[in-house]
């Protein structure tokens, strides 16, 4: 039975090379990249044989724990295409144990399994320092491969249940994005470490903790033996064996469950009433505003932007904090920064409509109504954000006199950015993810122009807000009437830029309506 599973897996792998030339080139690049990383790891592990055991332990346990965690979490976070789904064998009358064992052995055939096997064997060289360390490293190599392969199979099977529907995959992708972006402050903090002076201390602390977890115990056991800590080595090896055994029983239980459980299907939602359309004026602007609000509430592409709006300023604040900027000054950054990202989020709004833009063109919707309706969701979110967040920031800063400046700068960035986005989305649209596709999918076409347009939309909004920013800076330095002037100038210029942007963008939309329709249908 195992031989049949292995033969089936080999045939599936061979079929990969029968795809189109472009896909084949991508697959080959991925294979070369993965095996190249494995070779680099092997060279590094062999080199660690000639350094002190504590340093070698710190490096191998830390990196090894990350590798095991990747095998466990990546399929669960993003889902993978399971070519050998246990449910495909539910009608063959084979016992659960035989199917679980056969699929587990077949999972050893593949680039990820091959890469981790090579790395696991290479770590044996690192710990050939005494007989016990060598034995534990040899046994540990097998446990590493088993743990990674079974962990990936368990995660893939769980993902097959949890991520069966598009909505579930989108939500999980958003959660994964939040987690990954939330780790950025950690990356920024690590870049601030003086690795020449404190690197060994940091790695040692991480490896000491990871070595007692199921992720790093198998990597740490031979390291403890090499340092003469026999009791600790055996204890950590026992943790690794128990974890590998638990993964086997979990995998067998999942196979048994999947053999008798049909694939989850998405439930069709039923909506009643007019929704937001019943809450807005019966005008062109109101109808477009209602549709835009509906997009922001239901469309995963907008959800991704909304998640990034509060996280991106956080990364910036953490980077400045690491650089030594006082915390009171950092309190003034988040609200204007979130206002900037919120206004920037609609700079390509026309492309998000895709073929639905034909409704606007066919019904001869006014360009101004289109531009004004699209900015309503951003205003609904942005105005309360500024009015609530600015007093909080001013109180954290410790000086209420900065409140007018905070409001002025934030409104200037938000309104000017929305006016600018109204022009750019009509004049310079670029390909975006299509409706219904994953928000993390690659657009059908993109290039240097997209990056240039994004940069211009972002930094031009900052340039338009420079008068309010300059007056706010004078207020911080000298006080007096400068904060009030920053408020008046910021709000006044913001309104002016918003009105001009809506009028100019509306004129462009009226003139280029058919071109925009052709562009969205083509991309």
The pLDDT tens digits of the residues spanning 228-256 come to 889 999 999 999 999 999 999 998 888 88
Scan for tokens 């949890």, then name that residue: 162
pLDDT in tens, 14-23: 666 666 665 5
Scan for tokens 């294979």, then name that residue: 31
3-state secondary structure (DSSP) of residue 127: coil
Return the pLDDT at 523.
Answer: 65
Most confident region among 23-32, 92-101, 397-406 by mean pLDDT: 397-406
Domain ranges of the chain: 2-259, 279-522
Q: Is the pLDDT of residue 398 over 60?
A: yes
Most confident region among 14-23, 491-500, 506-515 by mean pLDDT: 491-500
Q: Is the pLDDT of residue 269 over 80?
A: no
Rounded distance between C-alpha atoms, residue 185 and residue 314, angstroms: 8
Return the pLDDT at 364.
Answer: 83
Q: In degrees, to the nearest 5, what angle opens at C-alpha 498 toward C-alphas 371 and 515? A: 35
Return the pLDDT at 408.
Answer: 93
pLDDT in tens, 412-466: 999 999 999 999 988 888 887 777 666 655 554 444 567 788 888 888 999 999 9
- Residue 271 has a CB neighbour count (10 Å cut-off) of 7
Scan for tokens 């309190």, then name that residue: 331
Q: How would DSSP label each residue in 159-182?
A: HHHHTSSHHHHHHHHHHHHHHHHH
Rounded distance between C-alpha atoms, residue 135 and residue 54, angstroms: 19
Rounded distance between C-alpha atoms, residue 195 and residue 199, angstroms: 4
Q: Are 378 and 342 in contact (CB under 8 A)?
A: yes
Q: Kindly state the average pLDDT of the residues 378-399.
A: 88
Rounded distance between C-alpha atoms, residue 340 and residue 323, angstroms: 23
3-state secondary structure (DSSP) of residue 515: helix
Residue 186: alpha-carbon gap to chain centroid: 15
The closest of 303, 292, 288, 294 to 275, measured between CA atoms, is 294
Full-model pTM: 0.61
Q: Kindly state the average pLDDT of the residues 7-19.
A: 67
Return the pLDDT at 445.
Answer: 47
431: left (phi over 0), alpha (psi -120 to 50) or beta: beta
* Secondary-structure breakdown of the chain: helix, strand, coil percentages, each rounded to the nearest 5: 80, 0, 20
pLDDT in tens, 57-105: 888 888 888 889 888 887 776 555 566 777 777 777 778 888 888 888 8
3-state secondary structure (DSSP) of residue 246: helix
Tokens standing for residue 376:
């309503």
At 174, is the pLDDT very low, low, confident or very high (cuts 50, 70, 90)? low
CB crowding 4-27: b at 16 or more within 10 Å, else e: ebeebbeeeeeeeeeeeeeeeeee
Q: Kindly state the average pLDDT of the residues 296-312.
A: 77
Please tell me what DSSP assigns to residue 442.
Answer: P
Q: Kindly state the average pLDDT of the residues 376-404.
A: 88
Residue 28: alpha-carbon gap to chain centroid: 25
Return the pLDDT at 31.
Answer: 72
- Residue 60 has a CB neighbour count (10 Å cut-off) of 25
Return the pLDDT at 171.
Answer: 58
Q: Is the pLDDT of residue 212 over 80?
A: yes
Please, what is the average pLDDT of the chain? 80
Q: Which residue has the higher pLDDT, 181 or 315?
A: 315
Q: Are 231 and 57 in contact (CB under 8 A)?
A: no
pLDDT in tens, 319-365: 676 666 776 778 888 889 889 998 988 888 888 888 888 888 888 88
Scan for tokens 């409140």, then name that residue: 403
Give the DSSP H/E element, type plus range, for residue 434.
Answer: none
In the chain, the largest separation of any two C-alpha atoms, in whole Å, equals: 84
Rounded distance between C-alpha atoms, residue 344 and residue 432, angstroms: 15
pLDDT in tens, 154-171: 888 887 766 655 555 555
At 41, is the pLDDT very low, low, confident or very high (cuts 50, 70, 90)? confident
CB crowding 116-134: b at 16 or more within 10 Å, else e: bbbbbbbbbebbebeebbb
- Residue 215 has a CB neighbour count (10 Å cut-off) of 24
Rounded distance between C-alpha atoms, residue 157 and residue 381, angstroms: 39
At 268, is the pLDDT very low, low, confident or very high (cuts 50, 70, 90)? low
Give the DSSP H/E element, type plus range, for residue 212.
Answer: none
Q: Which residues contact 426 (CB under 8 A, 6 or more apart)?
A: 350, 367, 371, 505, 506, 508, 509, 512, 516
Return the pLDDT at 407.
Answer: 92
Rounded percentage of the chain residues whose pLDDT exceeds 70: 79
Q: What angle, 0 to 180 degrees and rounded to 10, lies between the N-to-C axes of helices 367-397 and 284-298?
A: 50
Q: Are 118 and 38 in contact (CB under 8 A)?
A: yes
Q: How would DSSP label each residue in 304-368?
A: HHHHHHHHHHHHHHHHHHHTT--HHHHTTSHHHHHHHHHHHTTTTHHHHHGGGGHHHHHTT--HH
């Amino acid at each position: 039975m195992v031989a049949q599973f292995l033969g089936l897996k080999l045939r599936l792998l061979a079929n990969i090379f029968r795809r189109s030339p472009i896909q084949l080139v991508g697959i080959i690049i991925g294979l070369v990249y993965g095996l190249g990383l494995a070779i680099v790891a092997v060279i590094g592990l062999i080199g660690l044989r000639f350094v002190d055991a504590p340093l070698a332990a710190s490096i191998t346990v830390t990196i090894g724990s990350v590798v095991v965690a990747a095998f466990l979490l990546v399929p669960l976070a993003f889902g993978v295409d399971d070519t050998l789904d246990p449910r495909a064998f539910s009608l063959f009358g084979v016992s659960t144990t035989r199917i679980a064992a056969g699929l587990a052995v077949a999972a050893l055939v593949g680039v990820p399994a091959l890469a981790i096997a090579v790395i696991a064997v290479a770590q044996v060289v690192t710990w050939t320092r005494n007989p016990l360390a060598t034995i534990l490293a040899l046994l540990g190599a097998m446990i590493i491969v088993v743990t990674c392969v079974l962990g990936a199979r368990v995660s893939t099977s769980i993902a097959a249940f949890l991520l069966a529907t598009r909505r579930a995959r989108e939500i999980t992708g958003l959660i994964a994005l939040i987690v990954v972006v939330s780790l950025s402050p950690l990356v920024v903090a690590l870049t601030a470490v003086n690795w020449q002076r404190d690197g060994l201390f940091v790695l040692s602390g991480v490896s000491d903790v990871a070595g007692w977890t199921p992720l790093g115990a198998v990597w740490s056991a031979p390291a403890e033996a090499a340092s003469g800590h026999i009791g600790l080595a055996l204890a950590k090896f026992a943790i690794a064996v128990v974890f590998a055994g638990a993964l086997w029983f979990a995998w067998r239980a999942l196979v048994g469950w999947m053999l008798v459980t049909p694939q989850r299907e998405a439930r069709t939602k039923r909506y009643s009433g007019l929704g937001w359309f019943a809450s807005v004026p019966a005008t062109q602007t109101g109808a477009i505003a209602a549709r835009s609000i509906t997009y922001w509430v239901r469309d995963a592409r907008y959800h991704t932007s909304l998640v990034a709006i509060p996280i991106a300023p956080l990364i910036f604040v953490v980077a400045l904090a690491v650089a030594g900027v006082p915390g009171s000054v950092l309190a003034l950054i988040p609200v204007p920064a979130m206002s900037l990202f919120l206004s920037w989020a609609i700079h390509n709004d026309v492309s998000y409509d895709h073929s639905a833009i034909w409704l606007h063109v066919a019904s001869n919707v006014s360009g101004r109504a289109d531009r004004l309706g699209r900015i309503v969701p951003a205003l609904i979110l942005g105005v309360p954000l500024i009015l609530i967040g600015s007093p909080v920031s001013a109180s954290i800063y410790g000086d209420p006199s900065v409140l007018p400046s905070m409001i002025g700068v934030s409104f200037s960035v938000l309104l000017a950015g929305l006016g600018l986005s109204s022009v750019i989305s009509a004049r310079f649209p670029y390909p975006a993810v299509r409706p219904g596709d994953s928000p993390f999918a690659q657009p059908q076409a993109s290039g240097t122009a997209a990056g240039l347009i994004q940069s211009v939309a972002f930094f031009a909004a900052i340039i338009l807000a420079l008068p309010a920013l300059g007056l706010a800076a004078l207020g911080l330095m000298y006080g007096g009437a400068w904060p009030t002037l920053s408020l008046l100038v910021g709000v006044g210029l913001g309104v002016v830029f918003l009105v001009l942007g809506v009028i100019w963008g509306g004129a462009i939309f009226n003139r280029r309506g058919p071109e925009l329709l052709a562009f969205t249908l083509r991309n």
